[in-house]
Structure 1
Amino acid sequence: MSKDSTASKTPAIVVGLSGGVDSSVTALLLKQQGFDVSAIFMKNWNEDDDAGYCPAEEDFADAQSIAAELDIPFHGVNFAPEYWDNVFSYFLAEYKAGRTPNPDILCNKEIKFKVFLDYALSQGAEKIATGHYARVKEENGEFFLLKGKDNNKDQSYFLYTLGQYPLSKTLFPVGELEKPEVRALAEKFQLATWDKKDSTGICFIGERDFAKFLSKYLPAKPGDMVTPEGEVVGQHQGLMYHTLGQRKGLGIGGRKASKAAEKTAGMPWFAAQKNLSNNQLIVVQGKDHPLLYSQHLSASQLHWVSGKAPAAPFQCMAKTRYRQADQACTITEINKLAAKSTNLNTETQTNCVVEFDSPQFAITPGQSIVFYQGEICLGGGIID
C-alpha cells in the first residue's frame, strides 16, 4: 500500500492474511463492504525453516492465492527478529523457570497488534483487520473487547492485552459470525482455503515433537516423578515438558497405585505440582485428587482493556485456560508493585488475588487468567 492511499475515498484497511479460511473471509467481507483492502502476510519464524515443521511457505502461497482471487494488493513482511526478541525469548525464560507460558497471547500483543499495526499505519492504512473470533464495540469514546458470536471459537482470551489504542485501530469481521458461516461464505465465493484445516498451536512448533524442539534451546534435566507421600513412581525427562493437570505422556499409566493410596488402584495419573528445588514432578491418581484443585490464585502483569483497574473487591467471571467455561470469582485484592522491567513491557505494575466460588482444576503458573463481565472482556494477567 502506498502512503498516499489515505487520500482515497474509502478507508484503507490492511488485513493480516495468514493463509487460513478465517483471514480469507475477513478480506472478502471487507472488500464487499467497500473498503480499500490490501493484505500482508507476517512471517514470524526463521529458525529451522528447512526442516519442514513450519508451514509458512504453504501458508504464504495460500495467502497470495486468496489475495489474487480477491484482486487486492499483497506482500509479505518478516517480523521474525521482533518475534524472537519479544515473544520467543520470554517463552524460553518461562519454561526455564518451570512455568507454562502462552506465547499466542504475547504474540498478539507484541507482534500482531503492535509491530504489524505500526507497520500498516506507516504504510497509510487507517485500520488493520485479522481473522480473530472477537468483536470491538465503541461507546461514548471507549472501546470494548467483546467475545466472538461463536462461543466455540471465541478468541477474546488471547486478546486481553489489547488496550484502547489497538482496539480503536482494529476490525474483527468474522467475530460476528459462526465458524460454519465462515466456511460457507468461503465455499460460496470459491476461496481456495474454504476447506483448509484450522491451524493448531503456534507456527514455530507445528506438528513436531515438542520435547525434541524445546531441548534444542533448553537443556533437559531428568528427575523423579513422586507421589505426595514421596514414593518414586517414575522418571521425567525435564519439568519443562510437563504442565499441571497433564494426564497423557507421563509414562506411568500401567503402574499400580502408590502404597499410601491403594484405593486409587486403576485410576489415571496426573501431574499435580512441580518441586523446582528438588527437580521433582508430583503426580497423583484420580482427577478428583485435592492437589489438582485450588480455589484461589495470585496474578501479576495485569492489563485492563479500559486502562483502569476495577475497585476491589470486584465480582466477575474468569477463565484460567482457553475453552474453559467462565467461572464465578471475586478479585479480592489489587496491589501496586514496585516498578520493574519485564520481557512483557507491561504498562502496569500490579498484582491481584482472586477467589473462585468453587475449586478450579489445575491452575497453572505462567498461563493467563482473563476476566469477563457478560460478553465484555475486562482484561487479565499472568498466573503466579
Structure 2
Amino acid sequence: MRVALGLSGGVDSSVAALLLQQAGHVVECIFMRNWRADADDPHCHAETDRKDAVTVAGHLGLRFRLRDFSVDYQSEVFRHFLDEYARGRTPNPDVLCNREIKFKVFLQAALALGAERIATGHYARVRETARGFELLRGVDQAKDQSYFLHQLGQYELSRTLFPLGAMHKPAVRALAREHALPTQAKKDSTGICFIGERDFRRFLARYLPAQPGDILDTAGQRIGTHPGSLYFTLGQRGGMGLGGVRGAGEGAWYVVGKDVASNTLIVAQDDASRWLDARTLCASAPTWIAGRAPGDTFICQAQIRYRQTAQDCRVQIDAAGCRVDFVQPQRAPAPGQSVVFYQDEVCLGGATIEASDAVFGGLLAPPESHPMSMPR
C-alpha cells in the first residue's frame, strides 16, 4: 500500500518507517510542524526533530515532506488548552492533538497526496472484526498509548497502521541499532510538546496572567497565599510556598480543592487521601470507538490518567454524559482530564471528567453508595 507516515524525528517513528518499508509498502514520510516557536526559544526542539526526520528518511531512501499544521494546532488544541486552564481545569492536549491534528488534518493531507493509509509510531494496535475496527492496547504495557487515542472512530482506525503495536520498547531500540538508524540513541520526548523542558508555570503565565489568592486548610483557615489558583491541579504536591505554618507539622502539603471564581486553593498535609479519594465521578462528552456505548449500564475497567493500572468500575450513561462508579477509591480525579474505558485489551472509548465525590471534588450532592458485583 501507499502509506504516509508521521515521522517525528524520534526513534519510534523511525523504526515504524523501517518496518513499513520492510513490509513492502510505498512509504512517504511527513513531518508535522504543529507549533511555531520563537526563533530564539531554547526549549522548543521542533527544528532539531525536523532535521533528524530528514536524516532518517534519507538513511532509508524514503521521500520526505513537511506539512505545517500550526494554525490548526493553535485553533483546535492550544486555544482549548488555555481555555481549560482559565476555567481551573487540567486539560490533556495530547488527546485533542491526536483527534484534531494527527488523525484528522494529517489524515486528510495524506489522502490528498494519494496515500491509502497513514501510520504513526504509537504503541497501540488496530484489529478488524466482523463488527468493525477495534483499538487495542499496545503489547508493551509500559508504553501503551491507547489512552491518548480513545477519541478515534471507525473511519480513522480503518485508515491507520500502528507498526509498533506488537513490539516492546527494548526491541524497538535494538532494531534501530541493528539498522544504524540516526535516532537509535535519541532520548524519548516527554511532557507537552509546546512547553518542552521549561518551567510550566512561567510558560502558562505568558498567556494566562493570574492574581495571588488565599490558601485555606480543610477547616477553612487561611494559611498562606498562592500566585494563581489556575496554576495548580488536584493532588499536586508542594509548590505552594508553605512552610512553618503555625500548628502544622513538617510534612508535605497537597492541593485537595480549588475554586477559580474565588481564586482559592484548599490544601491538606501529609496523607491527603481522605480529601482526594473518590469512588464516583461524572464525565461529559463520551466518545466510543464502535460508534456507540456497550450499553446504558455496563461493567468495564477504566483509567483516569495515563499509565494507571486499569480499575474495575460500572458505567451508567445519562443525559449529561456518564457516571462512573469504581470498586476502589481513585485518587484526585481532575476535571478536564480523560477517563478511558477498557474491556481487557480493547479500548472502548472515553469521556472528560467533570466532577467527583471527593470532598472538594465538585459534586454538590455525593451520590448514594451502592455495592457492586464485579464479575471478571
Do they fold alike, i.e. is TM over 0.5? yes
Query: Which of 238, 251, 255 is residue 244 of structure 2 equivalent to?
Result: 255
Give CA deviations for 1:233-276 in whole Å, capped at 9, x if unaligned: 22211112111111142222x334x64xx6xx333211111022
Q: In structure 1, how many angstroms separate the alpha carbons of the residues matched to 2:130 and 2:68? A: 37
Query: Aligned partner of 2:318: which letter?
Result: N
Q: Does 1:187 align with 2:177?
A: yes
Query: Which of 314, 331, 355 is residue 298 of structure 2 equivalent to?
Result: 314
Identity in percent: 53
SS of the residue 2:40 aligns to: helix
> Residue in 1 aligned with 2:261?
277
Describe the shift of the 1:271–1:288 C-alpha distance in structure 2 as closer, same or farther (beyond 3 A). closer
SS of the residue 1:185 aligns to: helix
> Residue in 1 aligned with 2:167?
177
Shift in Å, 1:49: 4.0
Query: Which of 135, 151, 156 is residue 125 of structure 2 equivalent to?
Result: 135
> Residue in 2 aligned with 1:126?
116
Question: In the TM superposition, what are the counterparts of 1:214-233 in structure 2 within 5 Å?
Answer: 214-233=204-223
State the Cα RMSD in Å: 1.2
Give CA deviations for 1:333-352 in whole Å, capped at 9, x if unaligned: 3123xxxxxxxxxxxxx500
> Residue in 2 aligned with 1:290?
274
Q: In structure 2, how many angstroms separate the alpha carbons of the residues matched to 1:31 and 1:118? A: 22
Query: Aligned partner of 1:297: which letter?
Result: L
Shift in Å, 1:377: 0.3
Shift in Å, 1:141: 4.9
> Residue in 1 aligned with 2:370?
none
Query: Which of 302, 305, 310 is residue 286 of structure 2 equivalent to?
Result: 302
> Residue in 1 aligned with 2:364?
none
Give CA deviations for 1:115-157 in whole Å, capped at 9, x if unaligned: 0001000100000000000000001151000000000000000
> Residue in 1 aligned with 2:338?
368
> Residue in 2 aligned with 1:8?
none
Shift in Å, 1:212: 1.3
Q: Which stretches in structure 1 are left out of the alignment for 5+ residues? A: 1-10, 337-349
Query: Aligned partner of 1:278: which letter?
Result: S
Shift in Å, 1:48: 2.4
Query: Which of 217, 227, 240 is residue 237 of structure 1 equivalent to?
Result: 227
Question: In the TM superposition, what are the counterparts of 1:77-156 in structure 2 within 5 Å?
Answer: 77-156=67-146
Q: In structure 2, how many angstroms separate the alpha carbons of the residues matched to 1:378 and 1:236? A: 40
Shift in Å, 1:208: 1.2
Quick check: 277-286 or 15-24, which moved more?
Answer: 277-286
Question: In the TM superposition, what are the counterparts of 1:322-337 in structure 2 within 5 Å?
Answer: 322-331=306-315, 333-336=316-319
Q: In structure 1, how many angstroms separate the alpha carbons of the residues matched to 2:119 and 2:202? A: 35
Q: In structure 1, how many angstroms separate the alpha carbons of the residues matched to 2:273 and 2:59? A: 54
Describe the shift of the 1:31–1:141 C-alpha distance in structure 2 as closer, same or farther (beyond 3 A). farther
> Residue in 1 aligned with 2:369?
none
Q: In structure 2, how many angstroms separate the alpha carbons of the residues matched to 1:366 and 1:210? A: 17
Maintained 8 Å contact 2:16/2:120: yes
Q: In structure 2, how many angstroms separate the alpha carbons of the residues matched to 1:235 and 1:210? A: 19
SS of the residue 2:164 aligns to: helix
Q: In structure 1, how many angstroms separate the alpha carbons of the residues matched to 2:223 and 2:166? A: 50
Query: Aligned partner of 1:255: which letter?
Result: G
TM-score norm. by structure 2 comes to 0.92
Quick check: 278-287 or 115-124, which moved more?
Answer: 278-287
Q: In structure 1, how many angstroms separate the alpha carbons of the residues matched to 2:136 and 2:74? A: 30
Shift in Å, 1:288: 4.3
Give CA deviations for 1:273-296 in whole Å, capped at 9, x if unaligned: 102232111000123431111110
Maintained 8 Å contact 2:273/2:331: no
Q: In structure 1, how many angstroms separate the alpha carbons of the residues matched to 2:39 and 2:140? A: 34
Q: In structure 2, how many angstroms separate the alpha carbons of the residues matched to 1:308 and 1:136? A: 18
SS of the residue 2:196 aligns to: coil
Give CA deviations for 1:299-344 in whole Å, capped at 9, x if unaligned: 001100000112232110000000111011101x3123xxxxxxxx
Give CA deviations for 1:19-77 in whole Å, capped at 9, x if unaligned: 00000000000000100011000001114243222101000000000000000000111
Q: In structure 1, how many angstroms separate the alpha carbons of the residues matched to 2:101 and 2:39? A: 19
TM-score norm. by structure 1 comes to 0.90
Q: In structure 2, how many angstroms separate the alpha carbons of the residues matched to 1:381 and 1:49? A: 37
Query: Aligned partner of 1:56: which letter?
Result: A
Q: In structure 1, how many angstroms separate the alpha carbons of the residues matched to 2:324 and 2:39? A: 42
Give CA deviations for 1:348-369 in whole Å, capped at 9, x if unaligned: xx50011100111011000000
Aligned length: 354
Shift in Å, 1:213: 1.0
Q: In structure 1, how many angstroms separate the alpha carbons of the residues matched to 2:264 and 2:160? A: 45
